[in-house]
Amino acid sequence: MYGLHPDCHGRRALRASARAVGERGHPVTQIGARWWPLDWRDKTSGVSRFTLDQLAGEMESPPLWAAIHRSPHALADVLSVDVSRAAAAPGVHAVITAADFGEHMYFAGLPFSDRRPLAKDRVRFIGEEIAVVAA
């Protein structure tokens, strides 16, 4: 059996072997014990500065928010993507589609190595990303 003492044969020997390992082992103090991150007090009290806190004073305009348009269909051909209304909306800074990426632009590494950042000709599952609007 995997993980047992080599001289362990039978139920009694199993118990004795387990007891011997337990007796000579080190006391376990971390399993089940509460553990607090080192910076928890600063983060929960408001002392820590987060990214937006640090950049807010240095920015000329407020940060942008992104909205992602996703496919409502499980498998469908993308015939066209019309972003003219989104691009003309007030406050919109950029609209990104698959046309903005290179022809051979794919995610790196498995399991996404055959996926583009945004769907180009076909969507393969419900929720696949088609366009991104930054406003």
Percent helix / strand / coil, the chain, rounded to 5? 25, 15, 60
Question: Architecture of 61-134 per CATH?
Answer: Alpha-Beta Complex (3.90)
Residues 6-24: what's their mean pLDDT? 63
DSSP label at 96? E
Among candidate residues 94, 96, 86, the one with its CA nearest the CA of residue 116: 96
Per-residue model confidence as pLDDT tens digits over 16-30 = 766 665 555 556 566
Task: Compute the average pLDDT of residues 114-134.
Answer: 91
- Non-local (6+) Cβ contacts of 9 within 8 A are none
Q: What does the mean pLDDT of the chain come to?
A: 80
* pLDDT at position 93 over 50: yes
Structure confidence at residue 23 (pLDDT):
59
Q: What pLDDT shows up at residue 62?
A: 73
* Domain residue ranges in the chain: 61-134
Q: Of 3-7, 12-16, 55-59, which range is least confident? A: 3-7
- Asked if the model's pLDDT at residue 5 lies above 60, the reply is no
Q: Can you give the pLDDT at residue 31?
A: 72
The CA-atom distances, in angstroms, between 56 and each of 49, 63, 74 are: 11, 8, 40
pLDDT at 40: 83
User: Cis omega (within 30 of 0) on the bond before 6?
Assistant: no
Q: Which residue has the higher pLDDT, 32 or 97?
A: 97
pLDDT of residue 1: 47
Given this model, what pLDDT does residue 43 score?
A: 82
Q: For residues 29 and 135, which has the higher predicted lDDT (pLDDT)?
A: 135
- Predicted pLDDT of residue 9: 60
Cβ–Cβ under 8 Å, residues 97 and 71: no
Q: Around 39, how many Cα atoms within 13 Å sit in the side-chain half-sphere?
A: 6
